[in-house]
Amino acid sequence: MNTMDDLFSRETLAGNNRDVLARAVVVLVGCGAAGNNLAFNLVLSGVGQIRFVDDDWIEVSNLPRAPLFRAERMGSRRRYKAREIALGALAHAYATEPTVRYAITRIEALGLAAFADAHVIVSAVDSFEIRALLSDMASALGIPLVEIGFAAPRGQVSVFPHRTPEEPDWRCLHPEVEPGRYSCDLYARAAAATGRIAATQTVASALASVASEAVIRALHGEFPLGNQVFHLDVRSGRSSVVRVSRDPDCPGVHARLPPPVPVQVAAVEPLGRLLQIVGEVLSDPIVDLPAPFLVQAPCERCGRPVRIERPIWSVEGPPACRRCPEREDEGGGGRVIVNHLDASDPLARLSCRQLGLPAGSIVSCRDRATDALYTVRLAGGVDDLFVTRRRVPSPAATPPDAPALSSEVAP
């Protein structure tokens, strides 16, 4: 019978440490063509745990570019990318005890807790806004970021080690980031409308191979593409590497978060409870919210103020009154947005979760008088944020095409 040493003999000769890869935790955001091909390479290489994040569902055009999606599972029922890629990754995994976690949500809903103990973060999304957010998260936590993107036949892979706050990050390349969120299908339609060619499987697999090797090398503490962008035109074979320098005016995060202090405050408890505990350390504490919080906004028809009380990223469009008059009214109030809260604010009565702080959140608190920074971590963690699946026994004792025995834990 084959041993694990036989199974990974070529990878060992290539310089891969099987134990390092088996213990590795990779967070992959974006489960389309790039994410599929990248994850496929990582699980075949023996990476032990991958966390998948995507709130989009599978469209027919995804299937020819997604080796971890199963066409026979497609039907009238909506299938979400994060779940399907996780199932596919688990079925093909060659780690001894593989674990996959998935979250069908936006990364803003997960907070830093989803990334804090990762070894590498992978950005495989279309949206520049989300790439910028991932860059800030990775930089604040000091975690390497591998970013991939393409518009066939060209694509790029960039690697930012984040070894020190003085190093460049992705936002040094893109100080002006335009917001925008598209599904892969909508992105492809927009590309076609402007004459661009949507990514094909050959482009996705070629660029994902480069990104996969960058992830594996980063897990070993090696960064041959560190602070560089690799460009490749798959059709012509032309390639180039551009070195990224630190932009002194970069709007991104170039400071590490201090190690958080655990506090016994659940996400369902009021923020006031957290402020009360932090008040034992800081004389006049203020909580920095992870995203702007929309308190109210004018009705799109009459202009009257509508109470929202939600993080701004979760608001899909302008609100409307429940009893809106048919004719427009000149009166009303503008938007009210808050970024910080103290114990005297009425909003402190809301739960941490309502304010955008899920379980296990790393929360930045400041002293109003001294501006001293103090970080805490709410109760909970990844098990509250992801659905988890594990497989036993390992592929070393089971043929790769054997049915996977798995256990699933939902948050």
Over residues 327-380, the pLDDT tens digits come to 455 455 678 999 999 999 999 999 999 999 999 999 999 999 999 999 999 999
How far apart CA 271 and CA 347 sit, in angstroms, is 8
Q: Is the dihedral of CA 344, 345, 348, 353 positive or negative?
A: negative
The number of residues in the chain equals: 411
Neighbours of 258 (CB within 10 A): 11
Phi/psi at 106 (5° precision): -80, 155
What are the CA-CA distances from residue 372 to residues 37, 62, 281, 343, 368 (Å)?
Answer: 44, 48, 11, 17, 8
Burial of 232 (0-12, 13-18, 19+ CB in 10 A): buried
The CATH T-level fold of domain 4-255+385-409 is Rossmann fold (3.40.50)
Q: From 255, 257, 273, select the one nearest 265 (Cα to Cα).
A: 273
Q: Name the residue ranges covered by the structural domains of the chain.
A: 4-255+385-409, 264-378
What is the DSSP code string of 44-68? HTT--EEEEE---B--GGGGGG-TT
φ and ψ at 380, to 5 degrees? Answer: 105, -175
Alpha-carbon distances of 405 from 47, 99, 127, 388, rounded to whole Å: 19, 12, 36, 13
pLDDT string in tens for the chain (411-residue length)? 457 778 888 888 888 999 999 999 999 999 999 999 999 999 999 999 999 999 999 988 889 999 999 888 777 788 999 999 999 999 999 999 999 999 999 999 999 999 999 999 999 998 899 999 999 999 999 999 999 998 879 999 999 999 999 999 999 999 987 433 333 444 444 444 444 556 789 999 999 999 999 999 999 999 999 999 999 999 999 999 999 999 999 999 999 999 999 999 999 999 999 999 999 999 999 999 999 999 999 988 788 888 999 999 998 887 888 766 554 554 556 789 999 999 999 999 999 999 999 999 999 999 999 999 999 999 999 999 999 999 866 444 444 444 444 445 555
Backbone angles phi, psi at 167, to 5 degrees: -75, 155
